[in-house]
Structures are given as structure tokens and as C-alpha cells.
Structure 1
Amino acid sequence: MLFESSRVRLRKMTEEDTELYHKWRNDIEVMQSTNPSLDVYSIEATKEFVDTVILNSPHSKSYIIMDKDNEIPIGIVSLVNMDYKNRNAECIIDIGEKEYWGQGYGSEGLKLLLDFAFYEMNLHRVSLKVFSFNDRAIRLYNRIGFQEEGKSRQSLFRNGDWHDIIHMGLLQKEYFETQIKST
């Protein structure tokens, strides 16, 4: 099935997920390695964001990552800034439930999203941004086939130091080649 792997299932995000997303969005430890601003959001701001950007924008598709065994939502994966004419999108992934970190759930969720992006939507390119100190994510993205395309030097201030934001991209052809090698 397109939206299932051995341990996770993707389901479309709904309005009922707003409070859970709000919890993840305001957890500084969760957002430390993915959100440049580390702002704290009111529930009203989160509701507006979910309504306008996640649920009702023609330029994004967001899915909740579910632990199949326990039917527990553990994170979110999205395609954003979708450019249908040029068949491009940016992807974002957050595992909001910290007890699931480092166990491969994010990898499975991201692979399902990329399968959808490249096989079903026929996108040509998917990009992402990752903070230079997020070694675990960089290793994952490289393993999947993403290539570094550049960086915004010292554009992120975290914990008293400046860090780069690395820009990575993956072409459909490269993804298909990576999938053939892994089978």
C-alpha cells in the first residue's frame, strides 16, 4: 500500500490534529533542530496556520505519521511550496513524540512521502533544508539520496553559536536509482 511501511502509516492531517500539532510545534526540544525561529505559538496562531497553510493550501500536502502497532500519531511529514508547473516541492519532517527518535520511524515516514511525491505526483525534484548541526538528519538524507546543493552560511543562531542551513535536493531519477539499488 502506498501510505504504509512495516511500522508506520501516513494519514492525511485533519483539523482534529491541531492540538497535537500545537503541542509538537511548541516543544522547544522537538523544534530545536527543525524550526529556525523557535517561537512559542498561541493555540489561535496554530489553528490559523493549520487551516490556511496545512489544510487549505493548494501548495502543500501534510500527513500524520502513525505508529501502526499502537495507532499513535508520532509526527508529521509534508510537501510544501509545491510548484506544479516545474514539478518541484520542499519536504519537511518532524517526529514530535521524542520516544520515537532515533529508531527509524522518521526514515520510514519520509520514504513513504517521497514514494508519493515521485511515483504518484510525478514530481521532478524534492528539496529540503537542514541545520548543519543535525548530523542524524544529514546522514538520513544522504542515505536516501539527497545531495547538498549549497548552504546559507551562518544564518542560524543556536546555543550561542552560528550554524549553516544546508540546502539539499533529490531528483526523481536519482530516487528511482536509489530504490533499485536497495532492493
Structure 2
Amino acid sequence: MFESSRIKLLKVDKEDVELYHSWRNNLEVMSSTSPAIDIYTLEEKRQFFEDIIVGSSTSKSYMIVDKDAQKKIGITSLIHMDTKNRNAECIIDIGEKDYWGKGYGQEALSLLLDFGFLELNLHRISLRVFSFNQRAVNLYKRIGFIEEGISREALFRNGKWHDIIHMGILQEEYFLKSHEKLNYKSNS
């Protein structure tokens, strides 16, 4: 469940904080995923990491590991998990720029969605994406996410206002999309 041909997901632990800190303080990495681009000290990031990422009861976070290189390349999480309503929000950051645009994000997100829908039996998973990040928008649509709304001009980046796009996918939509992919592969 937590492996594909190229990657595996490992539960985040306290030792990952320095690597996570290096990604979160890289402005190029964070410019397309983080609403607040601020530089934090390692100690500030350690407190956030231990309280929110490792210690939260409403989130599950995993390091994305390149299996061949045995290298941690990013992080993906289900956050704001609401077990009563079976909802969560997902996030993903590929922190190692050498891995951008090569399909690792899609593999990691597919593993996370499999876990969310198959193991946790979530009904709905949502995400937010910045309108200028068209590559991410296209990826999410390919996976099966549907645009649900827009927060207009909610983000000021590089001297301009940008929208935040809200997207979601329901369990049945994800299963249908996965079934379509399997049928396509078997008919190829």
C-alpha cells in the first residue's frame, strides 16, 4: 500500500525535522505550495514539526522516499482529518528540485489517496492549489480532483494577486478513476 515501483512512503519521525526545515526554508520550493513564505529558525520549525506534523491526532504525514537512491525527496500528508464526516485535506511537497516534473508527485499522491480511501475509508479528500501552479492543477485533474471553488485574489506573490483553487475528490470518484486506469492498461 505504501510503495510504488519507484517510491515508498515512510511515516515521518522527529529525525526528519532538519531535512524538512531545509525544504521549508527554500523559497523556490515553497513559492508554489506555501501561502506564507517566511524563513524560520530550526528551533521554531522543530516545535511546529513535533506538535503539528509528528504529534497531531488529526493528521498523518509521510516522507516520500526514492527507493533506488534511498533518498527522502518530499513529504505528503492528510491533514484536518475529520473522522465523523470522513473528510481530510491532502498536501504534498517535493522538496528535492531534481525530482520535479518527473511523476514522483503523482505517484506519492496516488499512494496517499489509496491509503485515505481504502484504509481510512474517507469519503472526501480536498486540497488547495495556487492558480499560477498550472502543472499542479493539471496533475490534480488527471488524478480525478474536481474544482469546487475559488478564493479570488487570496494570495499576493511576485507583485501580483493570485487565486487559490479549491479541489476535491470523493471516494467513489477515485475508485471510478482507478478502475478506468486499470481498464485502459488491460486494453493497451
TM-score (norm: length of structure 1): 0.99
Structure 2 Cα separation of the partners of residues 21 and 74 of structure 1: 10
Structure 2 Cα separation of the partners of residues 121 and 37 of structure 1: 30
Letter in 2 for 1:136: R
1:121-132 aligned within 5 A: 121-132=120-131
Structure 2 Cα separation of the partners of residues 154 and 52 of structure 1: 31
1:1-183 aligned within 5 A: 2-183=1-182
TM-score (norm: length of structure 2): 0.96
Letter in 1 for 2:57: P
Identity of aligned residues (%): 63
Letter in 1 for 2:119: E
Structure 1 Cα separation of the partners of residues 138 and 19 of structure 2: 28
Aligned-residue offset at 1:166? 0.2
The ranges of structure 1 where at least 4 consecutive aligned residues each deviate by more than 6 angstroms after the TM superposition are: none
Letter in 2 for 1:168: M
Aligned-residue offset at 1:44? 0.9
| Structure 2 gap ranges (5+) | 183-188
Q: What CA RMSD, in Å, does the superposition of the two structures yield over aligned residues?
A: 0.4
Aligned-residue offset at 1:45? 1.0
Aligned-residue offset at 1:28? 0.3
**What whole-Å deviation, never above 9, does each CA across 1:113-163 have from its counterpart, x for those lacking one?**
000000000000000000000010000000000000001000101111100
SS of the residue corresponding to residue 85 of structure 1 reads: coil
| Structure 1 gap ranges (5+) | none
**What whole-Å deviation, never above 9, does each CA across 1:1-48 have from its counterpart, x for those lacking one?**
x00001000000000000000000100000000001101111111101
Q: Aligned pair count?
A: 182
